[in-house]
């Protein structure tokens, strides 16, 4: 079977991998969920949209002669990771996850860990505050359960329908972010508390450094359970894995 990679993307790391794979001349397809209006263009053939669950992905793998799957999705895109795991098992195709280590608290951090978005909403019980919600648009509706707060919503695209939160400000921005910018954002909007996911990686870490510098509390959503599969931490290691699994 000839080598043909399917890269499940939507992260900075996936884009770095696409560049490396294209430069190496490896046949590959890049896949986006289609969540943002103008996704970053890739130097690889790109498809957009869901596959139709694990069965749909298995069918796509078979029909497109995919020989290897790289799960380079965000650590909170658990549904896609599980679908990829089951589809690769069904099609007997090797899969690897390109992962990033979770963030760990440093001296001066005031983190409160919660297990999911509902936990973050519950942690916001109490008097009205100004909250920086750095979560992605699909998680915003849950915060109607704590609608006393003023939310600063950092989003990639302007929402098509205004969020159902009585007090909010939308800030449009696409990472990677830096500490100076995040400090300015938190100061300009008089933020009292930050809510975010433990995404790991460097592109979104600045908000944690900014919160530390301003002595702000952070409600940090812990990662969901992900399938146990081969993992690597760099794009170079993925290319090496492809070469090795091709040779066997």
Q: How far apart are CA 24 and CA 213, in angstroms?
A: 42
What are the C-alpha distances in Å from 158 to residues 53, 155, 169, 170, 181?
Answer: 28, 7, 11, 8, 20
Q: Tell me: does residue 66 bind ligand NAP (CB under 6 A).
A: no
Q: Tell me: does residue 201 bind ligand NAP (CB under 6 A).
A: no
For ligand NAP, the closer of residues 6 and 131 by Cβ is 6
For ligand NAP, the closer of residues 168 and 175 by Cβ is 175
Which of 17, 77, 96, 98 lies at the binding interface for ligand NAP (CB under 6 A)?
77
Which of 42, 136, 212, 219 lies at the binding interface for ligand NAP (CB under 6 A)?
136
Span near ligand NAP by CB under 6 A; candidates 70-78, 96-104, 112-120, 228-236: 70-78
Give the burial class of 91: count Cβ atoms within 10 A of its Cβ; 0-12 exposed, 13-18 middle, 19 or more buried.
middle
Q: How far apart are CA 89 and CA 80, in angstroms?
A: 14
Q: Tell me: does residue 56 bind ligand NAP (CB under 6 A).
A: yes
> Is the Cβ–Cβ distance between 86 and 193 less than 8 Å?
no
Q: Tell me: does residue 155 bind ligand NAP (CB under 6 A).
A: no
For ligand NAP, the closer of residues 160 and 215 by Cβ is 160
- Judging by DSSP bridges, how do beta strands 168-172 and 193-197 pair with one another? unpaired
Q: Tell me: does residue 176 bind ligand NAP (CB under 6 A).
A: no
Residues 6-25 interacting with ligand NAP (rule: CB under 6 A): 8-11
Q: How many residues bind ligand NAP (CB under 6 A)?
A: 25
The residue assigned the tokens 């919600």 is 133
For ligand NAP, the closer of residues 53 and 94 by Cβ is 53
Q: How far apart are CA 25 and CA 242, in angstroms?
A: 12
Which of 6, 15, 32, 134 lies at the binding interface for ligand NAP (CB under 6 A)?
32
Which of 4, 35, 129, 223 lies at the binding interface for ligand NAP (CB under 6 A)?
35
Q: How far apart are CA 2 and CA 198, in angstroms?
A: 37
Span near ligand NAP by CB under 6 A; candidates 53-61, 111-119, 153-161, 238-246: 53-61
- The 10 Å Cβ neighbour count of residue 125 is 9
The beta-strand segments (E) located in 33-163 are 46-48, 68-71, 95-98, 110-114, 130-134, 150-155
Q: Tell me: does residue 80 bind ligand NAP (CB under 6 A).
A: yes
Write out the two tokens for 49.
């949209």
Residues that bind ligand NAP (CB under 6 A): 8-11, 31-33, 35, 50-53, 56-57, 73-74, 76-80, 83, 136, 138, 197
């Amino acid at each position: 079977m000839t080598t043909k990679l399917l890269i499940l993307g939507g992260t900075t790391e996936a884009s770095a991998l696409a560049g490396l794979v294209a430069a190496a001349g490896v046949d590959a397809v890049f896949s986006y969920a289609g969540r943002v209006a103008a996704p970053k263009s890739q130097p690889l053939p790109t498809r957009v949209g869901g596959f139709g669950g694990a069965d749909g992905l298995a069918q796509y793998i078979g029909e497109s002669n995919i020989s290897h799957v790289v799960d380079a999705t965000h650590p909170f895109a658990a549904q896609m990771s599980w679908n990829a795991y089951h589809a690769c098992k069904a099609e007997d195709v090797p899969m690897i996850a390109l992962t990033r280590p979770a963030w760990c608290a440093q001296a001066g951090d005031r983190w409160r860990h919660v297990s999911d978005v509902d936990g973050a909403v519950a942690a916001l019980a109490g008097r009205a505050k100004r909250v920086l919600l750095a979560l992605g648009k699909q998680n915003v509706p849950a915060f109607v359960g704590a609608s006393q707060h003023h939310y600063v919503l950092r989003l990639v695209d302007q929402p098509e329908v205004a969020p159902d939160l009585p007090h909010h400000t939308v800030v449009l921005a696409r990472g990677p972010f830096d500490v100076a910018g995040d400090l300015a954002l938190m100061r300009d909007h008089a933020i009292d508390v930050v809510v975010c996911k433990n995404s790991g990686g460097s592109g979104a870490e600045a908000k944690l450094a900014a919160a530390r510098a301003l002595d702000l509390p952070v409600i940090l959503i812990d990662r969901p359970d992900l399938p146990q599969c081969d993992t690597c931490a760099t794009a170079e290691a993925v290319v090496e894995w492809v070469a090795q699994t091709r040779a066997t």
